[in-house]
């Protein structure tokens, strides 16, 4: 390994986003291989305030300046959904590795374009489904693969939380908003991960904030092997808070409590022919595990599961759910 590969991974943040301290800045302080070295925002004063608060050394005047900076190795993109694709393209073109918040792009077509671009480069492009790297999720996958539950019959996943601030960008169609895009991308991702296959959307029902924006969504799924599924998500509905995944097989049942942010408290419950058990896996944040994986992929070429190709599959299901409700697909901003 070269001396340059041993050096810390230097990451710049596009936007002074509220998610960045938990998703990247804090984990980087606990990871000796990573340094958050720069930030850029549309408002330089805001970027300077953010940098001062979080101990970030460099402030750039624009996203373009940060993406093309020669002293950065990677870019973290926590921008509104509709801007993800544009800045992934720019970062890869500038030779940067990318960690992009979910959902990866505005729709599946854009995700396919980005996946092709990433495949043609030698850069790591990773979607930030942090829950996927936590021991809770890894153990659930092992249990399913072991056959303890038997042949799968049903997978149900949910992420609902209240967001009554309707001026929030997550309700903005022009920024590729909607409950399915925000909360639902997790529910779809978990259904695919625990269902083990790419599902078909059988039916879907939306509760609307306005004619183009869903505030809640549910969908019925069917997997190629015959098991069925259901996803539920909400930013504003009677289902105020629900974060769970349930996997049912012919010989057992497994439920995950709070698989999305397990550091806030979680549990894995299994009932099978082997008996019943309840497990948890500590309070280390899922974001820390994710950053470990990103650094390992960049510095040592280790594989990750949240690839652009996997993002295409997730966005394909999201698009199909929107089609099933008659709502328009989200578009790049």
Burial class from Cβ neighbours inside 10 Å (0-12, 13-18, 19+) for residue 268 reads: buried
CA dihedral 251, 155, 284, 275 (to 10 degrees): -10
Q: How far apart (Å, rounded) are the C-alpha atoms in residues 322 and 305?
A: 25
93 CB contacts (<8 Å, ≥6 apart)? none
Q: What are the residue ranges of helices labelled H in 21-161?
A: 26-29, 44-54, 63-67, 84-93, 108-120, 135-146
Catalytic residue among 6, 29, 96, 102: 102
Q: How far apart (Å, rounded) are the C-alpha atoms in residues 7 and 137?
A: 30
Q: How many residues does the chain have?
A: 333
Q: What are the residue ranges of helices labelled H in 196-240?
A: none
Q: How far apart (Å, rounded) are the C-alpha atoms in residues 226 and 192?
A: 14
Question: Euclidean distance between the first and final Cα of the chain, in Å?
Answer: 41
- Give the DSSP letter of residue 210: E
Q: How far is CA 147 from CA 140, 143, 188, 227, 253, in A?
A: 11, 7, 23, 15, 11
Residue 102 is a catalytic residue: yes
Task: Quote the tokens at residue 330.
Answer: 């989200």
303 CB contacts (<8 Å, ≥6 apart)? 297
112 CB contacts (<8 Å, ≥6 apart)? 312
Catalytic residue positions, numbered = 102
């Amino acid at each position: 390994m070269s001396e340059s590969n041993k050096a810390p991974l230097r990451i710049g943040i596009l936007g002074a986003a509220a998610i960045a301290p938990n998703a990247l800045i804090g984990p980087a302080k606990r990871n000796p291989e990573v340094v958050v070295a720069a930030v850029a925002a549309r408002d330089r004063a805001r970027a300077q305030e953010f940098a001062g608060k979080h101990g970030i050394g460099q402030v750039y005047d624009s996203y373009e300046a940060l993406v093309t900076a020669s002293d950065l190795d990677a870019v973290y993109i926590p921008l509104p959904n509709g801007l993800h694709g544009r800045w992934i393209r720019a970062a890869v073109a500038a030779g940067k590795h990318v960690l992009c918040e979910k959902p990866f792009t505005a729709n599946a077509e854009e995700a396919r374009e980005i996946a092709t671009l990433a495949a043609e480069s030698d850069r790591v492009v990773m979607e930030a489904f942090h829950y996927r790297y936590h021991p809770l999720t890894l153990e659930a996958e092992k249990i399913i693969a072991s056959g303890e539950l038997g042949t799968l019959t049903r997978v149900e996943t949910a992420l609902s939380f209240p967001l009554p601030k309707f001026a929030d960008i997550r309700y903005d169609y022009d920024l590729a908003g909607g409950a399915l895009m925000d909360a639902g991308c997790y529910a779809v991702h978990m259904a695919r991960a625990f269902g083990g296959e790419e599902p078909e959307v059988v039916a879907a029902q939306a509760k609307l904030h306005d004619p183009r924006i869903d505030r809640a969504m549910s969908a019925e799924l069917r997997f190629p092997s015959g098991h069925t599924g259901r996803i539920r998500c909400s930013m504003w509905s009677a289902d105020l808070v629900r974060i769970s995944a349930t996997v049912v097989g012919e010989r057992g049942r497994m439920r995950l409590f709070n698989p999305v942010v397990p550091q806030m408290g979680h549990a894995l419950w299994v009932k099978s022919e082997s008996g019943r058990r309840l497990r948890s896996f500590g309070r280390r944040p899922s974001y820390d595990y994710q950053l470990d994986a990103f650094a390992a992929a960049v510095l040592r070429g280790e594989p990750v599961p949240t690839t652009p190709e996997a993002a295409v599959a997730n966005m394909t299901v999201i698009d199909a759910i929107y089609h099933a409700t008659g709502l328009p697909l989200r578009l790049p901003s």
